[in-house]
Structure 1
Amino acid sequence: MTDVPDTLHLTVQHPRPGLAIATVAGDMDTRTADSLRRKASEIIEEGCPHLILDLAQVRFCDSAGLSALIGLWHAAQAAGGALGLADVPDRLMRMLVLTGVDAVLPVHATAAEALTTMTNGPSTSTADRSAAQSP
């Protein structure tokens, strides 16, 4: 069996205490879902229960990647925080809408919007974005 390199990378910023923005680059699939879950869970456990995942650089996501996002949402909730998604590629956004996950995970147009919302109050951006994508 050939080793497959980890094709997922996270870059983390800490714009304020208790909140992190992790830029995810690469594929979120069966090969990388555990790595995503582990790396992002460490961010939450290390004192950033509010986590924004900037997904603009995600090339592919399968059900394992989607499951990792749901698991991270649970981890953030358990830590007294929240998980938000930002700059979600169209293909992944369709997957979130079709599975109903967009009703649970707040989706924001940009990381800056997610930061403002997580700092100032609840979001309506998921509904706004979903409505904007309807034909």
Structure 2
Amino acid sequence: MTDFRLTTQHTDGDLALAHIAGELDIDTAPHLRAQALALIEQGHRHLILDLGAVTFCDSSGFNALVGIFRCARAADGTLVLAAVPDRLERLLDLTGLSALLPAHPTAAHALVAHTRSQDPATA
């Protein structure tokens, strides 16, 4: 298996922030999907995936993100991306998925946006 790591950095109620590092490809995409779905099953239906350390993403990795998005949505949750690499950001734009998968420049920005979206006074 190529270099891949998912590290859960933050969990708070129904939110989890995970940092992804390495390559997202045919070998690692199933691990990404399984680990992300495990977070959803543990009650963290809102996921923020920090992709800043992703060095490569092929169609398998892209499809894993789509699958995670669908599972989060089925759990009445969300998938938000942070620090998306340029090539993956272009692919999200070309496929129209950038409209469904919000992206933020950093994980900190994504956390602030999530907090604001959950606050009835600011929503």
Give the corresponding residue for 1:38.
34
- Under a length normalisation based on structure 2, what TM-score does the superposition of the two structures give? 0.90
Give how far 1:15 is off: 4.5
SS in 2 for 1:121: helix
> Would you say 1:104 and 2:100 are equivalent positions?
yes
Segments ≥4 residues shifted beyond 4 Å: none
Give the corresponding residue for 2:86.
90
Give how far 1:13 is off: 2.0
Give the corresponding residue for 2:63.
67
- Give the % identical residues: 51
Give how far 1:6 is off: 4.4
The letter for the 1-side match of 2:22 is: G
SS in 2 for 1:83: strand
CA contact (8 A) 2:11 2:44 kept: no
Give how far 1:7 is off: 2.0
CA displacement 1:24-61 (0-9 Å, x = unmatched): 00111111111110011001111100100000000001
Taking the aligned partners of 1:21 and 1:65, their CA distance within structure 2 comes to: 18
Provide structure 2 residue ranges, at least 5 long, that are not aligned to the other structure: 119-123
Give the corresponding residue for 2:22.
26
The letter for the 2-side match of 1:21 is: L
Larger Rg: 1
Taking the aligned partners of 1:51 and 1:43, their CA distance within structure 2 comes to: 8
Give how far 1:8 is off: 1.3
CA displacement 1:72-114 (0-9 Å, x = unmatched): 0111111121100001111111111112111111111111111
Give the corresponding residue for 2:6.
10
The letter for the 2-side match of 1:63 is: S
Taking the aligned partners of 1:39 and 1:110, their CA distance within structure 2 comes to: 21
Provide structure 1 residue ranges, at least 5 long, that are not aligned to the other structure: 123-135
